[in-house]
Amino acid sequence: AEGSGSRKGGVDGQVRSFEEIPHTGRNSWVNLLRFWREDRFRQLHKHMERTFNALGPIYREHVGTQSSVNIMLPSDISELFRSEGLHPRRMTLQPWATHRETRHHSKGVFLKNGEEWRADRLLLNKEVMMSEAVRRFLPLLDEVAKEFCQMLQTKVEKEGRGERGKRSLTIDPSPDLFRFALEASCHVLYGERIGLFSSSPSLESQKFIWAVERMLATTPPLLYLPHRLLLHLGAPLWTQHASAWDHIFSHAEERIQRGYQRLSPSQSRDREGGGRYTGVLGQLMEKGQLSLELIKANITELMAGAVDTAVPLQFALFELGRNPEVQQRVRQQVQASWARAGGDPQKALQEAPLLKGTIKETLRLYPVGTTVQRYPVKDIVLQNYHIPAGTMVQACLYPLGRSAEVFEDPRRFDPGRWGKSREEGQRGAGTGFRSLAFGFGARQCVGRRIAENEMQLLLMHILLSFHLSVPSSEDIKTMCTLILQPETPPKITFSKL
């Protein structure tokens, strides 16, 4: 059965002290050197899994300037959630914050805390999280997903093998998936298309994708070092990181300025009565509750996170390709729901729960972010150890998703495990905290609804158009930048149905 693990008692039933929590070594700088030498930053998810196997379901780690308590069982994560308070805090990505401070940019909700975070977050939620907002932006995502599939069909027909109309093509789809993620996000956030599916997509967009990749790759090492010192020394690592962010900001600035001109009072008068959805940017500008600087900060953060959906899509296509029976079950459900929906994407998704299950199952095995962090506002007890208020506690998602204590047959790719009847049969302490790729509570990922729907719609249209297979079904080797990704993107064979 899928449960939530057991608790360790003290020798005499007493709660144990914080100092008694198993740890990976007391000297943080020696630990940091070991991380560098053994390339643990790139394999952080595997390091966590090995450490839990060696030390049990809770341990302390002190690396460079960072100190944390790491947990992985749903019952403990549930306890952490109950103590997150009204203004939950996640670990501040200090290199990002330092960039905003040195460039005099405002911070978006990702980097804010306290009442200021809450006020901005509640305004943003109305435009990106609420069901009314989702209903408005779904058709935009659906339009991009359909067009992506048309582009892929043309490519298969032109470059593929086999008889006309039944051709197949084996490619690394990752460059196309990154373009899809950027095109879809721009359409929802800015309310405009940027034409990335043309035969020669713009170099500007490719540079944006490279800048995001460079920003992600340079973040982890900077997290564990005194960033002010690096800034003072003009260290190459810091310089690369800051210039990547500069590029991301200039890309967003250009689009926001265009949007601002498009949405100026004279333009909006022309548009009145048309009721056309103007994207998240347009909605925030029209309501005028956030300053232009804060809108820019939040839209830029959303854009930087938006292309990340391309990574789980690679893993999802791979898993569907190497599990043909699962693929066929999902396709049958999708075909039936699409036929009944009459072109309504929201209805089609609602009637194909296996699509959502496919995304949840992909993110269980390959979580984009490998940890969710919180600082409890009161003292708590985890695994019978005392955790003082204000300690950084990390829920480690990669070991959680692959734990036999939490999931039955954890290595099996099974979207059906997330179905209502299966979930209800597994109710136990903390079992609600098993799917955490987007975080939890008030501080869960602000772009969650855009990302979930974007991925489901693309998979839906791909499954309606293609059969997927893989030239190699060997497990994908993964690595951590700030996000989990394949060391080498998997090749996928797309065969026209």
DSSP 67-124: EEEEE--HHHHHHHHHTS-SS------HHHHHHHHHHTPPP-GGG--HHHHHHHHHHH
Residues in the chain: 497
CB 1 within 8 A of CB 408: yes
456: nearest Cα among 357, 370, 355, 308: 355
CB 64 within 8 A of CB 225: yes
CB 480 within 8 A of CB 370: yes
Give the pairing type, strands 66-71 and 393-396: parallel
> Using the 8-state DSSP alphabet, how is residue 20 labeled?
G
445 is in an annotated binding site: yes
Q: Kindly state the tokens that stand for 12.
A: 């005499």
Query: In Å, how far are 36, 40, 384 from 481, measured between CA atoms?
Result: 14, 11, 33
189: nearest Cα among 339, 31, 303: 303
Instruction: Tell me phi and psi for residue 372, to 5 degrees.
Output: -120, 125
Binding region for heme = 445
Binding region = 445
